[in-house]
Structure 1
Amino acid sequence: MPENFIPPPYVTFAIPFFFLLIFIEMGIGFFKNKNYYRINDSITDLSTGILSQLWGLFQKGVSLFAYFYLYENFRLATIPIESVVGWIACIILWDFCYYWFHRVSHEVNLFWSGHVIHHTSEEYNLIVALRQSGIGGFLSWIFYLPLAIIGFNPWVFLAAGQINLIYQFWVHTKAVKSIGTVGEFILSTPAHHRVHHAINPKYIDRNHGGIFIIWDRLFGTFQQEEEECVYGTVKPLGSFNPVWANFHYLLEIAKMSWKAKGITNKIKVWFKPPGWIPPMKEGEQAVFLKPPEVDPKKYVKFDPRIENGIKFYTLAWFVLTLIISFMGLLFVGKMSPEQIIALTIWVTLSLTSFGWILESRSISMIWEPFRLLTSFGLLYYFTNETIYIASLGLIVALSIGFMFFKRNIFRELGSEPELIG
C-alpha cells in the first residue's frame, strides 16, 4: 500500500447499508408490533446527520493540520501503512482516545455543548445513530493527537475513525437484546449503549466506549442494563430544528456565564459538568441539579400533532434534499469550494424549514417560500438547463400553493404545541 494512500470515504459508502439495516429494523418492529420510529424524530435525526457531514467539511482542515504537523515533526516511530498489526493497534488506540473524549463530553459543559445533540432524540433506533453534531469537530481532534506522536500514518488514523463511527451505528437499536457473555464483556453492544442514552439517574454518564466496553470496566464507568430505559436529555430539547439542536446548549451555557456572579464563576460554567448552576446574585452558592427520577410509563415525548398532508409534504422534500446532499458528499472532490458552500447553505436552510414545519411554526409561512425560491439560485449555480429550471419552477409553485392552502394550521412561534399523549 503506497505511502500516499488516501482512505476511501467509508462512511459515505456505508450510507446505503445503513438504510438497509434501518428497513430491516423497521420490519422487525412491525412483526413484533413495536413502533421504533416516528417520522418527525427520524427526519430530525437524518437532518443533523446531513449537517454533521456538510459542516464537517469545513472543520477537518484544523484537525488534519494539527495531526499532520505532529506526525511530520514529532512522531516517535514510523508505523508502516501496510502493517496489519499497525492497523489493528490504531483501531484499538483510536477507540481508547474516543473513550476519553466521549467521557469528557459528558462531564464538561464546553464539550457537552458539542455532543448533546446526539442524545436529544427521545427514541432509540438505528436512525438515532446518525444524529451527530455539526460543531463537535472543533474540539474532538485534540484527544487523538497522541496517535500522531506514536507514529500512525494520518490516513490510517482517518480510516480508523471511520471504522469506529461505522461500528457504532449498529449499537443504536432495541431489536438486539444480547450478543452473548463474551461479546457483552468486551464489546460495546446495543444493551450497553441503550444505557448510555438513557436519562434514568443510575444510567447517566455511563458506558462511553465506542467499539470496546472494556474501557468502561477498567475506569469505573460501566453500568449493566437493568431497568427500562427512558431516552433523551434531562432537559428535553422540545424541537425538530437541527440548527437549534446543534447550538441550543452552547447558547444556554453562554447565557449562564453572562449572568453568573464573579469572573471565576463565569469561567467555571464552561468547565463544570452539566447540571452545575453558578451563583447569580451576591451571597448565593453554586448548586448542582441532580437528574430527576423518570417513569417510562408516564414520560411524555415531544410529539406535536400534525396532519398527514404536512407530513408527506415534508417527507417528500426531505428525501429530495437527502439525495442532493448524498450526491454532493459523494462527489465533493469534484466540486469547487464555492459550490460546497452554496450547497451547504441551501441544505441548512432546507433542514431548518422542515423542522419548523414539523412543529407547525408560523414562521414556516415565511421561511419555506424563501427556501423554495433559493432553490432556483442553487440549481442555476450548478446548471442552467431550461428543462431543469422549468421543472423546478412547477414544483416550487405547487409547494408554495400547498403551504398557502395549509396556512391556518401553523401556530405562533413560542406558543406550546399540542402533544400526542
Structure 2
Amino acid sequence: MAGNVSLLTGVRRLFYLVTPNETSFRDVSDVPNYTRESVPSFMLFVAIELTISLIKGDKKMRINDGVTSMSAGLFSRLPLYLMRTVELGSYVWVFEKFCVYELAWDSAWTWWLAFLAVDLGYYWFHRLAHEVNIMWAAHQVHHSSEDYNLTTALRQSVLQKYTSWMFYLPLALFIPPSVFLVHQQFNILFQFWIHTEYVKSLGPLEYILNTPSHHRVHHGRNPYCIDKNYAGTLIVWDRLFGTFQAEDETVVYGLTHPVGTFEPFKIQFCHLHYMWGRFKEEKGLANKLSVIFKGPGWERGKPRLGNIEDIPKVCYPVEKYSSCVPPWCGLYICIHFFIIIQLNQQIAASYRVLPVTFVLLSEVFVLLSLTSFGRLFDNSDYSPLLELFRCVLFLTADLILGVLGYQDLKSRPLAMRFVQYWYITSVVIWIVRQVTFYSGRLEKNKQM
C-alpha cells in the first residue's frame, strides 16, 4: 500500500534510482503499483514547485491550468478500475503464446536489457504519436497545457494506452511480463520530474539523459521545437535517430492551435472531433486514410508530416487562455478537487473488492466533478447549475448509503463529516448565488 512506502523510497522511484534486487519479481501479481504509490510524492513536488512559483511571483503555475492537468490524470486512470490494461494484457498473451527464449526474471542482465528495450519502445511509440494523426488525437492531451510545470506531467490521455501497447510486444519474445511491468512504470515515473522550468541544466548528464531542458523543447510550439526530443529516459535515442534539438530561444508551450478550454472532455476528444470533420470533407479513400494515418499537419499536396513553414510563429508577449473567476471560486474548486482525489485514491486501493456497480457509479461522479470544475474555470453560463446539481447528487447518494446501512452516519470519521458539511455548505452557496443572479436579472428586466 502507498502508506507503507517511505518518502525517500518514493522520491528514488521518480528518478529511476532503484536497483535490480529491489525491483525484480517472479510474477506480475507481485509487482507493486508504483504509479499509485507515487501519488504522495507527486503531490509533494507539486506543492514545492507551487511554493517556489508563489514566492517568485512568476505565474509559472496557474490554479486553473494545474487543476485541469491533474483532472486529465484522474480521467486517464478511471478505465483501469473496470478492465485489465491493454498494454499488460496483450504483453502477457504474446509472452505465453510466442516467447522464443525466457530470460531469467531475477537476473540483473535481464533487468538492464529491459530498461533499454522499454525505453527504446517508448521512443518509437512517442515519435509515432506525433507523426500519426490518429495517435496524435490521444497524445495531444498531454501537450494541451500552455504552462510547463509538474502538473503538466499528469495531464494524460484516456485513449493513449490503446495505441502504445503494440510497441512493447517484441519484448515479450524474451522478457518476462513482471520485468516489463516494472520498467514500463519507472519509465513513465521518470518523466514526471522533467516537467519543470526551474531546473535549467544538468551539465554532462544532458548528453545521456532526458532532462527538463530537452523536454521543454519537446513541449514547445515554436517552429524549432516541433517533432523533437521524443526520449523517455535516455536522450541518446534522439541523438541516434536524428530527432534531437537543444533548447534555444524561449520556449512557448502548448498546441500550435490552443484548445481554449479547461473542460476535460473537450481536451480529451477535441482532436478526434476535428479529424472526423476532415475525414468527411476529404474526397477519395486515399485522402481519407491520409487524414487518419499521416501527420497532424498533412494536407493534400503536402509531405506526410506537413510543412514546418505552416507552423504559426509565436508572438511575444504570449497570451495564454484564461477566464476571470473570483479567488473564492478558485479556492472552492481546489477544496472539492482535493476531496475527489481522496475519493479516487480510495477507489484505486479497493476497486478489486468493491461491487462493480459501485465502482462504475463512483467513476461517473468523478467525471461529473471534473467536468463541473472545468466549466467553472471556463466561467460558462450553466456551470453554477451543474455544480449545484453535483453537490445535491453527492448528498443524496450519501443519504441513500446511510439509509441502506452501508455506513453509520453517526460514527463516521471526522474527515467524512467535514466532507458532508462542506457539500451542504456548497449547496447553500450555489442556491444563494442562483437566487441572487435571477433576482438581479428580473429586476433589470423590470427597469427596461
- Measured in 1, the distance between the counterparts of 2:346 and 2:82 equals 18
Is 1:322 matched with 2:364?
Answer: no
Secondary structure of the structure 1 residue equivalent to 2:88? helix
- Measured in 1, the distance between the counterparts of 2:147 and 2:109 equals 39
Give runs of aligned pairs for residues 18-417 of structure 1, distance below 5 A: 18-58=42-82, 60-149=84-173, 151-181=174-204, 183-277=205-299, 290-295=310-315, 297-376=316-395, 378-379=397-398, 380=400, 383-387=406-410, 394-407=421-434
Pair 409,116 (structure 1): closer, same or farther in 2 beyond 3 Å: farther
Contact 1:59/1:137, CA 8 A, preserved across alignment: no
User: Which deviates the most, 253-262 or 123-132?
Assistant: 253-262
Contact 1:22/1:126, CA 8 A, preserved across alignment: yes
CA-CA distance at 1:405 after TM superposition: 3.4
Matched AA of 2:426: S
Secondary structure of the structure 2 residue equivalent to 1:345? helix
Contact 1:192/1:223, CA 8 A, preserved across alignment: yes
Pair 34,268 (structure 1): closer, same or farther in 2 beyond 3 Å: same
Matched AA of 2:317: K
Pair 24,395 (structure 1): closer, same or farther in 2 beyond 3 Å: closer
CA-CA distance at 1:381 after TM superposition: 5.2
- Measured in 1, the distance between the counterparts of 2:83 and 2:354 equals 17
Contact 2:70/2:155, CA 8 A, preserved across alignment: yes
Q: TM-score w.r.t. structure 1 length?
A: 0.89
Q: Which residue of 2 aligns with 1:419?
A: none
Matched AA of 1:46: M
Q: Which residue of 1 aligns with 2:17?
A: none
1:93-137 residue CA offsets vs partner (Å, 9 max, x unmatched): 101000000000011110001100000100011111111111111
CA-CA distance at 1:49 after TM superposition: 0.7
Pair 2,272 (structure 1): closer, same or farther in 2 beyond 3 Å: closer
CA-CA distance at 1:147 after TM superposition: 0.9
- Measured in 1, the distance between the counterparts of 2:160 and 2:36 equals 19
Aligned residues: 401
Secondary structure of the structure 2 residue equivalent to 1:333? coil
Contact 1:185/1:214, CA 8 A, preserved across alignment: yes
Q: Which residue of 2 aligns with 1:418?
A: none
Contact 1:193/1:207, CA 8 A, preserved across alignment: yes
- Measured in 1, the distance between the counterparts of 2:331 and 2:209 equals 39
1:249-278 residue CA offsets vs partner (Å, 9 max, x unmatched): 111101110122223222210111112245
Matched AA of 1:386: L
- Measured in 2, the distance between the counterparts of 1:287 and 1:211 equals 28
Segments of 5+ residues of structure 2 without an aligned counterpart are 1-23, 439-448
User: Which deviates the most, 107-116 or 57-66?
Assistant: 57-66
1:338-396 residue CA offsets vs partner (Å, 9 max, x unmatched): 23222211101110110001111112133222222332465445934334698766543
Secondary structure of the structure 1 residue equivalent to 2:191? helix
- Measured in 2, the distance between the counterparts of 1:392 and 1:17 equals 24
Secondary structure of the structure 2 residue equivalent to 1:406? helix
Matched AA of 2:256: V
- Measured in 2, the distance between the counterparts of 1:351 and 1:19 equals 18
Pair 409,144 (structure 1): closer, same or farther in 2 beyond 3 Å: farther
Matched AA of 2:197: K
Contact 2:81/2:348, CA 8 A, preserved across alignment: no
- Measured in 1, the distance between the counterparts of 2:25 and 2:142 equals 36
Contact 1:198/1:232, CA 8 A, preserved across alignment: yes
Matched AA of 1:215: W
Contact 1:376/1:392, CA 8 A, preserved across alignment: no
Pair 240,187 (structure 1): closer, same or farther in 2 beyond 3 Å: same
CA-CA distance at 1:406 after TM superposition: 3.4
Pair 236,391 (structure 1): closer, same or farther in 2 beyond 3 Å: same
User: Which deviates the most, 384-393 or 338-347?
Assistant: 384-393
- Measured in 2, the distance between the counterparts of 1:391 and 1:189 equals 42
Pair 377,161 (structure 1): closer, same or farther in 2 beyond 3 Å: farther
Matched AA of 1:3: R
User: Which deviates the most, 169-178 or 394-403?
Assistant: 394-403
User: Which deviates the most, 245-254 or 395-404?
Assistant: 395-404
Contact 1:239/1:359, CA 8 A, preserved across alignment: yes
- Measured in 1, the distance between the counterparts of 2:300 and 2:425 equals 52
Pair 409,309 (structure 1): closer, same or farther in 2 beyond 3 Å: farther
Pairwise CA RMSD? 2.4
- Measured in 2, the distance between the counterparts of 1:42 and 1:397 equals 26
Contact 2:81/2:351, CA 8 A, preserved across alignment: no
